[in-house]
Homo-oligomer: A and B are copies of this chain.
Amino acid sequence: MSAAPRGSLYLVPNTLDFGAKSGIAPLQQVLPLGVIEIAARLPHWVAENAKTTRAFLKRVDGVVALAQTLQAIDIRELPRPPKGGTATSPSAADWSALLAPALRNEDIGLISEAGLPAVADPGAGLVDAAHRAGLRVIALPGPSSLLLALAASGLNGQSFAFVGYLPVDAGARAARIRELEALSRRERQTQLMIETPYRNEALLAALLSHLGGTTRLSVSCGLTLDNAFSRTDSVAGWKAAPTTLPADLPVVFSLLAA
């Protein structure tokens, strides 16, 4: 092969404190130094949000000096996912433009607002385009709220599924909850889901209404924050001793049918 040298696409984990008002840990408490060092030298970024990426890079600079000024770092945003059918999905040309620096042998970082990019977050399209372009993709270790919640749940970690958001419509949501419980029982598979924070309480109420009393339900919030909290109990136990969920922090819900 005599191909020109290529840059790599680094998948850079962000902290999990996005939107938190208290209990935020210093960067080194939650990200490996090796990851902070790589972040400090990357000249190009593709981000879910440019503003939060600049805030992240300021925190990086407090631990390892940035290789260039923040103003000189190239930060571009991922195309927004199409909503309401009016916009179109990103095209191959959109991805090529974002990956162009790698063809000049410069490395690119991909980052989301919290946790690992491309997991329960935008970015997978860019990673797939990088593979199609023959670029090296390197995922860096860091916090993932889904996996921390699964570990902290004590539910089955040998078989699990993340299913994203449940329907908002009450009838469709109830049917989906019963479907996930049946699937969990049949496959002995933990089912994980998330919700927009202001609907955390509504999702918990729906789960308690529609799941069987012996199904185990786990809730984790504020993971990696000082006030992190994980509770696992039977649905009957939750009903007997309710816990109020925050309306301003992400929560991961997990269930396993008994």
- Residues of A whose CB lies within 8 Å of any CB of B are 11, 16, 25-26, 28-34, 116-121, 123-131, 137-144, 146-164, 189, 216, 218, 220, 223-224, 228, 230-233
Contacts and interface: CB of A to CB of B under 8 A. Distances in A.
B131 A139 contact: no
B233 A119 contact: no
21 contacts: A26-B34, A28-B34, A30-B34, A31-B32, A32-B32, A116-B147, A116-B148, A118-B151, A120-B157, A121-B157, A123-B157, A124-B156, A127-B232, A128-B216, A131-B218, A131-B230, A131-B233, A137-B230, A139-B220, A140-B224, A141-B142
A142 B29 CA distance: 11
Max chain B CB contacts within 10 Å: which of A32, A143, A149, A216?
Answer: A32
Contacts of A131: 154, 218, 230-233
Nearest to A163: B159
Contacts of A33: 28-29, 33
Given A146-B147, A148-B139, A163-B159, A154 B124 contact: yes
Given A34-B25, A139-B148, A124 B157 contact: yes
Given A142-B141, A231-B131, A232-B131, A151 B30 contact: no
What is the predominant secondary structure among interface residues of chain A facing chain B? mixed
A220 B11 CA distance: 14
Nearest to A141: B143
Nearest to A15: B141
Max chain B CB contacts within 10 Å: which of A119, A141, A153, A228?
Answer: A141
Nearest to A128: B154
A149 B160 contact: no
A230 to B, nearest CB: 5
Contact of A150 (B119, B126, B223): B119
B156 A159 contact: no
Max chain B CB contacts within 10 Å: which of A29, A34, A116, A157?
Answer: A157
Nearest to A11: B151
A151 B32 contact: no
B128 A155 contact: yes
A159 B154 contact: no
